[in-house]
Structure 1
Amino acid sequence: MQTTRLISLLEFLKSDPNDPFVIYALATEYNSINDTEQAFYYYNILINDHPDYVGTYYHLGKLYEKTQELEKAVAIYQKGMTVARNKRDNHAFSELQGAYNSAMGLDYEDD
């Protein structure tokens, strides 16, 4: 069953199939309803067609972690950190670095 939001996003995509925000929103919506196949599909469109859309990397990495594909998650976080650094997006870089550190077991906490 498709949600109203999903139906709206698919309509937006029909009117502008190359809009990275709509593609990102679709990936995120599919992820939120646990349709990982469609979420991966749309995140991969972003990676291939809009590699500078920096928000993709964090969420795609988390989806890889969710599906127990840690090596892919780490690689996506690394690629995302490079993109964020090149775009001088320090906030995104910091979030990706935190996710990378956590995936690598480097997120130390003081007890």
Structure 2
Amino acid sequence: MQRIDKLKEYLQAQPNDSFLQHALALEYIKLGDDAAAQPLFENVLAHDPTYIGSYYHLAKLLERTGNKDKAIATYEKGMQHAKAARDMHAYNELQAAWEDLTDY
């Protein structure tokens, strides 16, 4: 909980910091708290759609919680942003996860 408390403290000073929100969401996932992580990832992507790493983690969370269609859409949107950013590593990771989920 120390990391979570520290990240929350930092977020009070910088509430729109994508890195801090993403990091806090990952900490919640480590605790198995997808319900706390999801809105953080969604907020990151709503305010910073080029924060590509959040697409993968949000889509995986959506898969775990049974939201297959939303997960697929999230992977696809992430692939679009990764391609636009010429981040082929992220694109390939998103595509591989998308293919696993869609049985492509």
Normalising by the smaller structure, the TM-score range is over 0.9
Name 1:65's counterpart in structure 2: 63
Letter in 2 for 1:43: F
After superposition, the CA RMSD in angstroms is 0.7
**Normalising by the residue count of structure 1, what TM-score does the alignment of the two structures yield?**
0.91
Which structure is larger by alpha-carbon Rg, 1 or 2?
1
Identity of aligned pairs, percent? 40
Query: How does 1:28-107 map onto structure 2 within 5 Å?
Result: 28-106=26-104
**Normalising by the residue count of structure 2, what TM-score does the alignment of the two structures yield?**
0.97
Name the structure where helix makes up a greater proportion of residues. 2
Provide the aligned length of Structure 1 versus Structure 2.
104
Question: What is the Cα deviation at residue 31 of structure 1?
Answer: 1.3
Unaligned runs of 5+ in 1: 107-111
Unaligned runs of 5+ in 2: none
1:18 to 6, 11, 16: 16
